[in-house]
Amino acid sequence: MRKWIIVASAIVVITVVVGFLLLLNINSLIARNKGYLIAQAEDALGRKVSVGEVQATLWSGIGARIADFTMSDDPAYSSGDFVRAKDLQVNLRFWPLLRKEVQVKRVILHDPVIQIVRNADGKFNFSTIGKGAKEKKETSAKEKKEAPAKEPGQPAWLVSLVDLSGGDIHYLDRKEGTDLRLQQIDFKVEDFDFNRAFSVKLAAAVYAGKQNLKLTSKVGPLRPDGDFTQVPLNGELDIDPFDATRLNAAAPKLKGALGKDIDLTGVFRVKDLKFNGTLKDLAVNGKIEGTEGAVRYGKTFQSPPACR
């Protein structure tokens, strides 16, 4: 028994040493080729990328940890950044690497600031990410008169987990007139797949000093035409509390969704609100408490600022 304990201990020590040496070698390789790797990322994304220190990691799989990550926005939408994060971690699947395939297992963002813009034509700024690289491949295929490539089973960047903590999202919709900020965001996407439903969990502060919004949902499958308004979703939402007056000003379309005769002002609470359908045709069922709010329906009904 003692001999087996010694052998097992020796194997553990050797594994740790080999892993440490491998990590040092990968870090050295990254340091020597950092400029080249950034250029490749910019070419694939079609966006300017800026990073601080880059280190390889073997925690939760082979991957890289990137400090002070920044990706620029499409100039057609804004001159600022699309995303910047204090820390970005990307882990890759091990077995596909042996087949020289790169498949992302996990993406983790710490303290990210993300700006999502929808233009007057209804197109989002993230829709152009990677567009240039795709066009180059199509042009190259035409020039070489190659046969159309087979549709891959899974994109290389398909991930099983997206984890975002301490985030800040600014959503600017120039078509609907929305200018909305979500802060203190914890966001998790699990089992992401284009062809079947995946899980989404969101907690955020909406015009509040602490997190007051909690959402759990199943989303998908996604549409190949990229129309997010037609993607199936179902789940549950709680907002405790929310300022209807400020939300109406930031997202006037939400007020229109209630009906032109209904108006909510003041502070409300949304409890166990269940939803099902798509963004274009969404059925909801739940309750709203308005101990500090007021409800008006046309000219025939108006509650006092203490309703339920």
pLDDT at 222: 82
Q: What is the pTM of this model?
A: 0.70
Both tokens assigned to 240: 């405790």
The region of weakest confidence among 20-34, 50-64, 206-220, 259-273 is: 20-34
pLDDT at 168: 94
E-strand ranges in the chain read 49-50, 54-57, 63-72, 81-92, 104-110, 113-118, 161-173, 178-190, 198-205, 213-219, 233-243, 262-277, 282-297, 301-302
Q: Please give the average per-residue pLDDT across 209-225, as a whole number.
A: 89
Is 186 within 8 Å of 203 (Cβ atoms)? yes
CA distance 45 to 43: 6
Whether the pLDDT of residue 36 is over 50: the answer is: yes
Is 222 within 8 Å of 231 (Cβ atoms)? yes
pLDDT at 15: 40
Over residues 94-104, the pLDDT tens digits come to 676 666 666 77
DSSP 79: S
Three-state DSSP class for 307? strand
Both tokens assigned to 34: 């950092």
Is 46 within 8 Å of 75 (Cβ atoms)? no
The region of weakest confidence among 27-41, 232-246, 260-274 is: 27-41
pLDDT at 4: 44
Q: Which residue has the higher pLDDT, 246 or 120?
A: 120
Over residues 48-90, the pLDDT tens digits come to 999 888 887 766 667 788 899 999 999 999 999 999 999 988 8
Q: Which residue has the higher pLDDT, 101 or 217?
A: 217
pLDDT at 21: 39
pLDDT at 102: 63
Locate the domains of the chain by residue range: 27-175
Percent of the chain with pLDDT over 90: 23
Is 249 within 8 Å of 179 (Cβ atoms)? no
Q: Which residue has the higher pLDDT, 108 or 8?
A: 108
CA 229-234-237 angle, to 5 degrees, is 105
The region of weakest confidence among 179-183, 231-235, 294-298 is: 294-298
Is 56 within 8 Å of 30 (Cβ atoms)? yes
Give the model's confidence band at 44: pLDDT under 50 very low, under 70 low, under 90 confident, else very high. confident
Average pLDDT for the chain: 75
Q: How many residues are given for the chain?
A: 308
Over residues 137-191, the pLDDT tens digits come to 555 555 555 545 444 444 445 566 788 899 999 999 988 888 889 999 999 988 8
